Every structure is written in C-alpha cells, then in structure tokens.
Amino acid sequence: MTEPLHLYDAVVLKDWVDYNGHMNDAAYAIPFSRAIDKLMDQIGLSDSERATSHHTLFTLAMQMRFVYEVKEGEPLTVTGQILEIDAKRLRLYQWLRHSRDGTLLATCEQLLASIDQSGPKISAFLPKTAEALEQLVAAHAELPVPADAGQGIALKRK
C-alpha cells in the first residue's frame, strides 16, 4: 500500500514553546509550512526552479487541528497526502507526529494555488509540476481520505 509522503523532520525549538511549557499554537504552522517547501522540491518547484520559472505555491486556506501537546526538544515528523488537484490548485492533508513514538500531535489541511509571480496571478501548474502532482494523486488514491478532511469549524446548535 502507498504511504503518505515523508516531508519534513524538526525538533521543537525554545522559541516555539509558550508559557504553558509546550509548543505554542502558532508554532505548529512552522513545520507544516516547511513541509510544503519540501513538497515543492519534489514537484519541480525547488529554489532554483522557482527563481527561473517565477512559479511557486501560495496557501489560500488552512485548517489545523491540535491533538496532543509537545515540549521543547521533542522530535517531529510531518507526512502528507495529496487529496486532490485541478489545473491551478492542490489540496494537501498533513500529519504532525512525534518522531520517536508516533503520537499524533496535529493535522493540517491546506488549499494551495499555483502562482506565476511575474503577475503575480494564479496560473496553471507548470507541466513538470502538473505531471508530478498527477503521479502523487494517483499513488495516494489508494489511501483513505482522512475522516476530518474538508470539514470546517462549527458549533452544533440544538
């Protein structure tokens, strides 16, 4: 069976920890964001390719869910699954886990757009990027869609 992509490893830095002694909610976005940088390397949007083509990815929407706290110095791993793509956008689901014991710490779902920075404007993925994403979508089609994917935030009313 196909596995989610291994995207990024990190250690919780002192600057990421709040007055409660665990990682601050804003700091959870850092490993998820860095994981997207690594994804870009895998789909033909490395630093040099972005400089040459003027194409990149921008986040349009992001939904994080906090599951378990983590403390300074603890190791982290981010994995991801491409849920869907179209000509200009991709939807990515990521898991942040403790590297040693696999404890799920947080999840993040993002909608990303292909951007031509010479505009700047949303534009179609470059052919190389589109092909890489299509291959990932096909590989990830075997994976179950996470149960909370595509859900927003709401209070249940009686």
Does residue 116 lie in a domain region?
yes
C-alpha span between 154 and 158 (Å, rounded)? 13
- pLDDT-based confidence at 158, cuts 50/70/90? low
Whether the model clears a pTM of 0.85, i.e. scores above it, the answer is: yes
Tally of domains within the chain: 1
- pLDDT-based confidence at 156, cuts 50/70/90? confident
The whole-number average pLDDT for the span 12-33 is 96
Does residue 99 lie in a domain region?
yes
Structure confidence at residue 1 (pLDDT): 52
Does residue 145 lie in a domain region?
no
Does residue 75 lie in a domain region?
yes
Does residue 148 lie in a domain region?
no
- Residue 150 pLDDT > 90, yes or no? yes
Q: What is the pLDDT of residues 34-87, one digit of tens each?
A: 999 999 999 999 999 999 999 999 999 999 999 999 999 999 999 999 999 999
- pLDDT-based confidence at 155, cuts 50/70/90? confident
Does residue 152 lie in a domain region?
no
C-alpha span between 54 and 74 (Å, rounded)? 36
Residue 79 domain boundaries: 5-140
- 76 token code pair: 């982290």
Does residue 154 lie in a domain region?
no
Does residue 96 lie in a domain region?
yes
- Give SS3 for 62: strand
| One-letter amino acid of 31 | P
Domain CATH code at residue 26: 3.10.129.10
- pLDDT-based confidence at 157, cuts 50/70/90? low
Q: Which residues pair with 89 in a beta bridge?
A: 113
The whole-number average pLDDT for the span 19-30 is 95
The whole-number average pLDDT for the span 13-41 is 96
Q: What is the pLDDT of residues 97-130, one digit of tens each?
A: 999 999 999 999 999 999 999 988 999 999 999 9
